Structure 1
Amino acid sequence: MPIPLIVDSIDAVPEPLRDQYKEVDGKFRLDLDGYEDPSNLKSALQKEREAAKAAAKQVKSWEALGKSPEEIQELLQAQQKAEEDKLNKAGEWDKLKAQMNEQFSKEKQQLLDSLTTKERAIEKHLVDAQATAAIAELKGVPALLLPHVKSSVRVIEEGGEYSVRVVDANGNPRVNAKGDYLSIKDLVSEMRQSDIFGRAFEATGTTGSGTPSNKGAGSDKAKKAAEMTSAEKAKFIGENGLDAWRKKLNAETI
């Protein structure tokens, strides 16, 4: 009866021979002097066989292409270099795109600045001209009233045409009792009736009793600045200008 090399159970071995077996990985193997487990060699051999098969398959592929291994290697290197060049070009394109975006932003800002300058010029032409004319017509002092008029109006564009609108504190256009937009002259008329802004307009020429006032420009000039009322000061400035008012103050201070 042959002696088994490896058994799953020691009971499968005759009792006199059981001392000659040792347990390895859950099984029982005959303990032989100089014996080496061939499993590692089998595993290595299997890997070599698989590598040989892969190499043979690759050789067949090269043969099918009509290229030698060296030529295939050159093709692979050329392809790799092309990919690297492509990446380098992509980097250059990103750099160029960034430069183009920066240039576009600068030109956009210049255009916006130009539009802002034109809008200010239009506003100055429309608002300043109308406001100055309305203030002068109602005998007001432009130097005192113009800033307050400008703060209460807005220039808007409608269908390519620019118009001036008197607005309220919330920026909404104001209308009169008829539903028409309030004009700058209407606004100046309101200011003339105001207790605050009314001082920057010429007196109506009548006293509180309705009788004509006997005071003229000459009497205002003769008065000292400290003796003038607010209305007289505004009248003096309106008739003679701010420079004359400053000269009068300087002369009376000396």
Structure 2
Amino acid sequence: MALKAIIDSLDSVEEQYRDLYEEKDGKYVLVVEGIEAHPGAASLKNALDRVRTEKRTLSEKLTAVEGRLDGLPDDFDVDEYERLKGAAEGKEPPKIDERLERQKVELEKKHRTELEKRDARISKLDSTLRKSLVDDGLTKALIDSGVSKEFLSAAKALLKERGAVKLIEEDNEFQVLADDGIDDRMPLTKFVANWVGDEGKHFVAKATGGDAKGGEAKRFTENPFDPKNPNRTKQQELIVQNDTRARQMAEAVGVTPYW
């Protein structure tokens, strides 16, 4: 069964799939991981690239037309030009083709109108793409860091309000990065993990039942601190890369941080 991306109510969704949706602006939106690789997002980016190419082509055409017109004096008179040309050639002045001037005006108007339409379309596509990549990238990073689903909306709103999360475009490639006040190009996963380990710790889902640490350990896969299968090399790598997350993973399997 295919799940709809946006629905008005969860009544039409089977119970087992309802946790996959989160409420946003009065509707329920399907949380999608790996949106960058989704065909829909790829199509959206291709459409944006195509429109930009079309805009560049139109701009070049308009520049060429304006370049031809810039060489004419402000008091240029087509009738006088044709009269002088005919006199120089010993001919009667030919009948002025009024369509020439009319076509010139219409061509300029057409190019300017098409450029305005493409500017509006580019702006809309760019806004949609940025919102989708930032929102879904932030959602995935928060879930991976153990934030409870019931707090996802609040956590995302808090981080967005600070302006810490941003979309960077370089060489037609998009990256969702964050600014922690020191590093303005910090990977989003690292930024969220640091935030969850400090200020955002209250948003983390609490383990329930007798095996609380075992429940917490399920947040991590291939935990290098697992006493049953420890990996010292990966432990050191994780400590250097993300000390906060390293402590979380150690505590999740009942190991007291030794560093």
Instruction: State the TM-score, normalizing by the size of structure 1.
Output: 0.36
Greater relative CO (CA pairs within 8 A, separation 6+): 2
Instruction: State the TM-score, normalizing by the size of structure 2.
Output: 0.35
Structure whose CA Rg is larger: 1
